[in-house]
């Protein structure tokens, strides 16, 4: 291998999680078309592979990690909201209920071998008032987060139960990444 792992994402949350895990990596922005319709595991894995491939093609011989996270409730896949109205609709849908967070992860090894996995975590929101939803949207936090919330941010105040990987809800399931990395990059 000719260098450290490349993270095909500029997500500050993914960078922070990999750093906390002690993984040596560099970051390259991934520009790849994403699908938004379909089953959440298929959507996230497809998008993770597309991101990783877009970066790997520019840096062959390097291991590349791609990821994609969505929220799933009532048969609908929620990505990042486009505006306050969409954020409101998402939060109203999640309000007082369970939903699932899916993160597809793709690792392209330095030899071009592709390995994928998908993690799922169940998350429960407490009942939020309309005023609480509006105040949360006004923070600006929902806009670059799947499902319009950040469990590690102010939305953590409204989440009372999580079943599964906490790091998955943030955007990168570390135990899943560990399993994919194996001996790649000396991990």
Active site residues: 68
CA distance 22 to 152: 20
DSSP strand pairing (5-7 vs 64-73):
parallel
Q: How far is CA 170 from the centre of its chain?
A: 7
SS (H, E, C) the chain: CCCCEEECCCCHHHHHHHHHCCCCEEECCCCCCCCCCCCHHHHHHHHHHHHHHHHHCCCCCCCEEEEEEEEEECCEEECCCCCHHHHHHHHHHHCCCEEEEEEEEEEECCCCCEEEEEEEEEEEECCCCHHHHHHHHHCCHHHHCHHHCCCCCHHHHHEEEEECCHHHHHCCCHHHHHHHHCCHHHC
End-to-end CA distance of the chain: 13
């Amino acid at each position: 291998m000719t260098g450290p792992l490349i993270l095909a994402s500029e997500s500050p949350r993914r960078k922070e999680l990999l750093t906390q895990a002690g993984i040596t990596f560099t970051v390259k922005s991934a520009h790849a078309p994403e699908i938004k319709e379909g089953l959440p595991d298929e959507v996230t894995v497809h998008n993770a592979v597309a991101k990783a491939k877009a970066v790997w093609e520019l840096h062959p011989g390097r291991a590349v990690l791609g990821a994609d996270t969505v929220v799933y409730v009532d048969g609908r896949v929620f990505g990042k909201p486009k505006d306050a109205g969409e954020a409101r609709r998402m939060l109203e849908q999640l309000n007082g209920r369970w939903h699932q967070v899916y993160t597809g992860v793709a690792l392209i090894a330095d030899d071009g071998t592709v390995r994928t996995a998908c993690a799922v975590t169940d998350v429960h929101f407490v009942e939020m008032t309309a005023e609480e939803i509006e105040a949360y949207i006004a923070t600006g936090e929902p806009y670059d987060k799947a499902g319009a919330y950040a469990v590690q941010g102010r939305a953590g105040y409204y989440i009372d139960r999580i079943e599964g990987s906490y790091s998955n809800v943030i955007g990168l399931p570390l135990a899943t990444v560990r399993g994919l990395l194996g001996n790649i990059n000396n991990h």
